[in-house]
Copies of this chain bind each other. A is one copy, B any other.
Amino acid sequence: MKAEILSHLNLTGPYYKLKLYSPHIYKNAMPGQFAMLRVGETSDPLLRRPFSIHKKNPDKTIEILYKIVGKGTRLLSTLVKGKDMDIIGPLGNGFVIDKKIKNHILIAGGIGIAPLLFLAHELSRDKRSRITLFLGARHKEDILCIQNFKRLKARINISTEDGSLGKQGLISELFEVSLADLNEQKIAVYSCGPNNMLREIHRLAAAKGLPCQVSLEARMGCGIGACLGCVVEGKEGYEKVCTDGPVFDAGEVEWGRL
């Protein structure tokens, strides 16, 4: 599929936001789903790269928020406005929203914020939703999307490893502290970030009996369930991150094998 690049902005440091005109993805995407982007035209890099749907806009555009980490994302960042992006999506299973739950805790590590903004937008369509965001990163430059969450009236908790913004420490620690005062039962946790963080969030949520969904990453060959390249170990054998996930119920994941 082709989708015109309507804008391509360098936010701060290695972070970029890409806006694409894609009525198809706009119409079908659910929070937590992703798309496979072709970042170059030659055979190096060869494979598509997976990126979460970060945002949908009424003008039938979608946004991708990404960080340059290697060859593919570096090349992606050179694509200019006006060009067509080669994209497949939406793919995978997104977050499951339980309509009965009104209290939502979203926990992101670094670029893991990308799918959670879309989720927050979706959750906030229910006016009774209360959204709490926990966002952790290394430095304050890695803290993204705060304005967007403020607009959604989310309660925001921030931590950075170097203390340059918010509380110093890991976001899971901040989450743990907040759990201590928690009495409310009808809460759902949604998280995206590095595996070590997710493991910890799962442990904390499970201890409190809170439902917890995590969005996992894996190297992907096809993104559509054909190559079996992206598996993670689940309680009942290997699960494909691309079609069984990327969002999993945290309880289904074999955390020891991740």
Contact surface of A with B, Cβ cutoff 8 Å: 40-45, 71, 74-75, 80
Contacts and interface: CB of A to CB of B under 8 A. Distances in A.
Contacts of A45: 42
Please report whether the interface of chain A is mostly helix, strand, loop or mixed according to DSSP.
Answer: loop
Contacts of A75: 41-42
A48 B62 CA distance: 37
11 contacts: A40-B42, A41-B74, A41-B75, A42-B42, A42-B44, A42-B45, A42-B71, A42-B75, A43-B44, A44-B44, A80-B80
Nearest to A40: B42
A160 to B, nearest CB: 32
Nearest to A39: B42
Nearest to A74: B41
A133 to B, nearest CB: 37
A81 to B, nearest CB: 12
A13 to B, nearest CB: 20
Nearest to A42: B44
Given A42-B42, A44-B44, 9 more contacts: A40-B42, A41-B74, A41-B75, A42-B44, A42-B45, A42-B71, A42-B75, A43-B44, A80-B80
A215 B168 CA distance: 67
A49 to B, nearest CB: 14
